[in-house]
Copies of this chain bind each other. A is one copy, B any other.
Amino acid sequence: MSCPASLRNLFALCCAARGAAALCAAALLASTPSPGAEPLAIREIGSFHVGGKEVRLDGKGRERVRREGLAKETVQPKGDFLYGQVYVHFVLLERPTAPYPLVLWPGGSLTGVTYESTPDGREGWQMNFLRAGHSVYTTDAWQTGRANWARFPEISPEEPVFRDAAFLWEIFRIGPPGSFATAPAARQAWPDTRFPTGAFEQFARQAAPRFRLDSELTTAAYDQLLQRVCPCVLLTHSASGPTGYEALQKRPDLIRGLVSIEPSGGIDLTKETASRVARVPQLIVWGDHVTDPGARETWEPLYRGSRRYAGELERAGASVEWLDLPAQGVKGNSHLIMMDANSAEIARLIDQWIRKSVR
């Protein structure tokens, strides 16, 4: 099977640089995924919810939130409600070849859809990792997607934040600030972006309202999930990076490897907490334009926090691989690396890292 130009190119650029040479060589030697070529042998596909609490509301009446001009109505939130759960979708291979199943945790205002098909219809990381021999658990954090949200202000204290299209375009580093326009042809993405800009609307349709102040319940629900399906490898993205680091502090026995895709910084470590997780190998992946004007105000502090976290772990003896794509010659990745044009190649690098590092 021949090696696609994109992967050869990635290899050449990437392996010329320090650090990741062994990783890249392994990626090149591995069989290239060929979507559709071989059927997957699947044992089961299904889902469940995990975590959450019950609350009883007392039925105190208030005015229903309605648009101006509609007749007033009273709502009386009353009865038992379940909230705080995480949704977990699983695809179990008949004969996985990876050492452990992979648990995918999405970033803020995103759901497990992040890891399904890419916005332009290519196979997503869920399929990439299945084809590479990993059983995959894909999750929706509480208040997003199929982990349905709870009413506000009675259960959640306040209404969520809704991100408009321009904000999504900028915060996910598809283009610099001010480069979004309603008309697709008028948008100015970074010239080298690997995000499939023609499918931006398809991506924007998966963005979920974002609630604040719910991290404790989310962490508790994910902890229950880890106890249920691990030992495993955990993969986080963006805002779930730091919460993944907290989860690792609780379960260094169950998380056998941790992959952080552009984590929103690190967490504060002491000598004790660093050494508690030092035996768990970690991989941290960063894309491009992090320090560009307009992006660096948001991203540089997170990148530095991520670097600092990795450094502290390394000083405690941990194995932390740092895959800084542009530093290794791979330009143009957005914050949505799992949707970018080279998503399958990055998945392949992660797969190879897992096989090399996770015991």
> Is A111 positioned at the interface, with any CB of B under 8 Å from its CB?
yes
A1-40: CB near B (< 8 Å → 1, else 0) gives 0000000000000000000000000000000000110011
A230 at the interface (CB under 8 A from B): no
Chain B residues near A313 (CB, 8 Å)?
Answer: none
Q: Chain B CB within 10 Å — which of A47, A52, A81 has the most?
A: A47
Q: Please pick, from B48, B68, B209, the residue contacting A151 in the complex, using a CB distance under 8 A.
A: B209
Interface contact A182-B56, CB-CB below 8 Å: yes
Number of copies of this chain in the oligomer? 2
Q: Is A253 an interface residue (CB 8 A)?
A: no
Q: B64, A148: Cβ atoms under 8 Å?
A: no
Complex CA distance for A77 and B149, rounded to whole angstroms = 20
For the complex, give the distance between the alpha carbons of A68 and B164 in Å.
27
User: Which B residues are in CB contact (< 8 Å) with A48?
Assistant: 117, 121, 202
With contact pairs A43-B39, A158-B70 given, residues A201 and B130 touching in the complex (Cβ less than 8 Å): no
Binds B, one of A83-91, A241-249, A298-306, A322-330: A83-91
Contact residues on A (Cβ < 8 Å of other chain), bracket: 35 or more
**Cα distance A65–B159 in the bound complex, in angstroms:** 6
Residues of B contacting A124 with CB < 8 Å?
46
Cβ contacts A202-242/B at 8 Å (1 or 0 each):
10111111000000000000000000000000000000000
Q: A48-B202, A123-B46 are in contact. Are A153 and B208 (CB under 8 A)?
A: no
Least CB distance from A166 to B in Å reads 6
User: Are the C-beta atoms of A94 and B39 separated by less than 8 Å?
Assistant: yes
B contact residues around A204 at 8 Å (CB): 82
**Also in contact, A44 and B205, with CB within 8 A (given A65-B159, A78-B164, A79-B165):** no
Shortest A238–chain B CB gap in Å is 17
Say if the beta carbon of A262 comes within 8 Å of chain B: no
Which chain B residues lie closer than 8 Å to A91 at the CB level?
45
| Partner among B70, B80, B87, B146 whose Cβ is within 8 Å of the Cβ of A166 | B80
Residues A157 and B67 in contact in the complex (CB < 8 Å), given A40-B41, A145-B146, A162-B151: yes
Query: Contact at A165–B82, with CB atoms within 8 Å?
Result: yes
Complex interface: chain B residues within 8 A of A87 (CB): 113, 206
Looking across the interface, which residue of chain B has its beta carbon closest to that of A59? B164
> Does A284 count as interface, using CB distance less than 8 angstroms?
no
A126 within 8 A of B: yes
Q: Are B42 and A42 in contact (CB under 8 A)?
A: yes
Chain B's closest residue to A159 (CB) is B65
Q: Is A104 part of the binding interface, using a Cβ–Cβ cutoff of 8 Å?
A: no
Of B111, B146, B157, B162, the residue contacting A81 (CB under 8 A) is B162
Q: What are 23 inter-chain pairs, A to B, with CB distance below 8 A? A: A36-B43, A40-B43, A40-B45, A46-B116, A46-B127, A48-B117, A49-B206, A52-B205, A54-B182, A64-B158, A66-B157, A67-B153, A67-B154, A73-B158, A75-B159, A79-B166, A80-B164, A80-B166, A82-B165, A85-B205, A87-B113, A145-B148, A148-B207
Q: CB within 8 Å of B: which residues of A?
A: 35-36, 39-49, 52, 54, 56-57, 64-68, 70, 73, 75, 77-82, 85, 87, 89, 91, 94, 111-113, 116-117, 121, 123-124, 126-127, 130, 140, 144-146, 148-154, 157-159, 162, 164-167, 182, 201-202, 204-209
